[in-house]
Homo-oligomer: A and B are copies of this chain.
Amino acid sequence: MRSLLAWSRIVRASRRTMATGTKKEVIGIAQVNPNVIKAQYAVRGPILDTVNAVEKQLQQKDHGLSFSEVVKVNIGNPQALKQKPITFSRQVLAACAYNELSEKDVFPSDVVDRARMILNSCEGHSMGAYSDSKGIKVVRQHVVEFLEARDKHPADTEKIFMSNGASEGIRMVLELIATGEGKTRSGVMIPIPQYPLYTASLQELGMPAVPYYLDEDNGWKLDANDLYRNVKAARETCNPVMLVVINPGNPTGQILTEQNMKEIIKFCADENLVLLADEVYQENIYAPEKSFVSFKKALRDMGPDYENFQLISCHSTSKGFYGECGQRGGYLEVIGFPDDVMGQLLKLASVKLCPAVAGQIIADTIVKPPHVGGPSRDLYFKEKAAILDSLAERAHLVSKSLNEIEGVSCNPVEGSMYAFPRITMPEKAITAAKKVGLAPDALFCKEMVEQKGICTVPGSGFGQKEGTFHFRMTILPPLEQLQRIVVDIKDFHKEFSTRYA
C-alpha cells in the first residue's frame, strides 16, 4: 500500500510525462487490490496457459505431438465432455424463450404446461423481466417441495435464494459475515483438500481460512476431534464463525456418514459456528452401499435442541445428472437466521438485481421432474438413470485403474465427479520443480498436458498434507475415451518417474 507522499510523486511524474504525450497508466499492478492479487483459483489457473500453448502447437501442420487435442479433465464441465442435456429441461427452456412454440404442437403437453406455469410467475409473463431478487416465486415453491420430499422436514420459500450457480450464493454469504479486524476478523473453517472457490473468495474478502484436514488414509473422513483442536488454535488469530463442509466431497469424492454429519453439527453448536453445507453433488452418488443425507435432514433429526442452529446449504444446476454449468443456476437454503440478517442478505441479492432467469428455469426442471402420467416423465427418468449409471461405471473405472498404477493410490470415488489420486514424487522432480518455481505436482500436471494432452489440476491448488502430492481429474469423459486416458496417465506416470529417478 502506497503512502500519500509516494502517490503525489506518481501524480507529479505522470503530469510531467503527459506533457510529452506519453501518459503513465493510473492502474498498474501496484494499484490493484492486494487481496485480488493474493487470490488463487487453481481450477482455471496457470495450467490453462500450458493448454493454450499446446493447442496453438496442435494447429500447426507438423506439430510433432502424439495426440490431436487436449482433453480437459481439469473441470467438472459435463456437457463440454459430451454429456447430453435432459430433454425436458431444454424443451421447457426453449418454450419459455420463444413462447409461440407452445402453440405450435412442437412440444409434449407437460413441457407446455410447465413453461406456462413458470411464465405466469414472471412479471409481464416473460423470462426477459427481472425476477424477484430471491428468484421466481413458483421456482422457489418447487425448490421447497423438493426439499420437503427429500428431507421429510418443512422448508420455506422465504428462506430460498436462487443464485447464479452455487458459487454466487456462497460468495454472497461470505461477504455477509465478513466483519472485524485482526484477531476479531471473522474466519471460516475449510476442509483441506477443498474446492478453491473457498480460498479464492476468502482471499478476495480478506478473511482468514482456517484449515482442517480430511483423513486420506481413512477414506477422507472428517475427524471431529481434529475440528475441536483446529478451532481452538484458530481463535488465537481470528474469530471463526463458519465451518464449510463439502459433501459429497470435492475434490475428494467421499460421502459422509450420517453419524459423522451429526458429530459435525454438534461441533458447530458447541463452538458457535454457522455450518455452510456445500451439497452440489447430492445427486452424484456411486457407492452402492451409500446414500446422500442432507445436513438439513441430519440437523432436524437431532430434534428441538438444535432448533435455532444456523445452516446454509447450497445446490446447483451445474452438477448432478443434468450438468447445466453454462446456465448458472443454483440456490441457497438459509435457516436459523433472524429477520434483520435475512434482510441484509436480501439487500445483497437486490444489488445484483436478480439471478439469470434461464438458470432458474433449468433449476425448476431439476427440482420438479415431469409429473406422473405426463408424456415426458419416462424419458426424463430414462435419461437420468443412463447418465448416473454410466457415471458410476466411470467412477469405478477411474479409481480402479489409478490404483493399478505403481506409485499411485486413490480412494474410491463414492460420489461427486472427481478422483483425487495421490502420487509418489521422485526427489529429482521436486528439485526440478523448485528450479522453475512450480509446486512438484504442478510440474507433473504441466508435463502431462505437454506429453499426453491431458489437462488435470495439481493437488497443491486444493491444499494437501505437507509432503503429499495429488492431482484432480474428472470422471466425465465418455467411457471409451476415459479408458484411453487412464492408460495415457499410466504411461506418463511411468515415464515421469523414470525420467526423474
List residues 359-414 of chain A with CB under 8 A from any CB of chain B: 359
Complex alpha-carbon distance, A123 and B106, angstroms: 27
A94 at the interface (CB under 8 A from B): yes
Complex alpha-carbon distance, A356 and B330, angstroms: 12
A179 at the interface (CB under 8 A from B): yes
Most B CB contacts (10 A, CB to CB) among A129, A269, A328 go to: A129
Complex alpha-carbon distance, A23 and B270, angstroms: 10
Q: Are B98 and A28 in contact (CB under 8 A)?
A: no
A53 at the interface (CB under 8 A from B): no
Q: Are B129 and A336 in contact (CB under 8 A)?
A: no
Complex alpha-carbon distance, A87 and B475, angstroms: 40
CB distance from A379 to the nearest CB of B (A): 13
CB distance from A366 to the nearest CB of B (A): 12
A245 at the interface (CB under 8 A from B): no
A14 at the interface (CB under 8 A from B): yes
Given the complex, which residues of B lie within 8 Å of A204, measured CB to CB? 175, 348, 351
Q: Are A167 and B353 in contact (CB under 8 A)?
A: yes
- Among residues of B, the one whose C-beta sits closest to the C-beta of A172 is B36
Q: Are A344 and B31 in contact (CB under 8 A)?
A: no
Q: Are A75 and B130 in contact (CB under 8 A)?
A: yes
Q: Are A164 and B356 in contact (CB under 8 A)?
A: yes
Complex alpha-carbon distance, A353 and B94, angstroms: 24
CB distance from A397 to the nearest CB of B (A): 21
A480 at the interface (CB under 8 A from B): no
User: Contacting A31 at CB < 8 Å: which of B85, B179, B197, B269?
Assistant: B179
A26 at the interface (CB under 8 A from B): yes
Given the complex, which residues of B lie within 8 Å of A340, measured CB to CB? 28-29
Given A94-B94, A272-B14, A274-B26, the answer on whether A128 and B326 have CB atoms closer than 8 Å is yes
User: Chain A 1-22, CB within 8 Å of chain B: the 1/0 string?
Assistant: 1111001001100110010011
List residues 307-330 of chain A with CB under 8 A from any CB of chain B: 307-310, 318, 322-328
- Identify the A interface with B (CB < 8 A): 1-4, 7, 10-11, 14-15, 18, 21-29, 31-34, 36-37, 39, 41, 44-45, 72, 75, 77-83, 85, 87, 90-91, 93-95, 97-98, 101, 104, 106, 122-124, 126-131, 133, 164-165, 167-168, 175-181, 183-184, 186, 197, 200-201, 204, 239, 241-242, 269-274, 304-310, 318, 322-328, 336-338, 340-341, 344, 347-348, 350-359
Complex alpha-carbon distance, A167 and B305, angstroms: 43
A sample of 20 inter-chain contacts (CB < 8 A) reads: A1-B181, A2-B239, A10-B272, A22-B308, A24-B272, A24-B308, A25-B308, A31-B241, A32-B177, A44-B353, A77-B124, A79-B126, A93-B98, A94-B95, A104-B106, A127-B326, A128-B325, A167-B351, A175-B204, A327-B358
Complex alpha-carbon distance, A124 and B77, angstroms: 9
Given A36-B175, A326-B122, A338-B29, the answer on whether A184 and B3 have CB atoms closer than 8 Å is yes
Given the complex, which residues of B lie within 8 Å of A123, measured CB to CB? 72, 77, 79-80
Q: Are B41 and A177 in contact (CB under 8 A)?
A: no
Q: Are A79 and B128 in contact (CB under 8 A)?
A: yes
Q: Are A270 and B15 in contact (CB under 8 A)?
A: yes
Given the complex, which residues of B lie within 8 Å of A78, measured CB to CB? 128-129
Complex alpha-carbon distance, A353 and B41, angstroms: 10
Q: Are B338 and A325 in contact (CB under 8 A)?
A: no
CB distance from A187 to the nearest CB of B (A): 12
Given the complex, which residues of B lie within 8 Å of A307, measured CB to CB? 23
The 4 closest A-B pairs by CB, nearest first: A358-B358, A80-B123, A326-B357, A356-B356
Given the complex, which residues of B lie within 8 Å of A91, measured CB to CB? 98
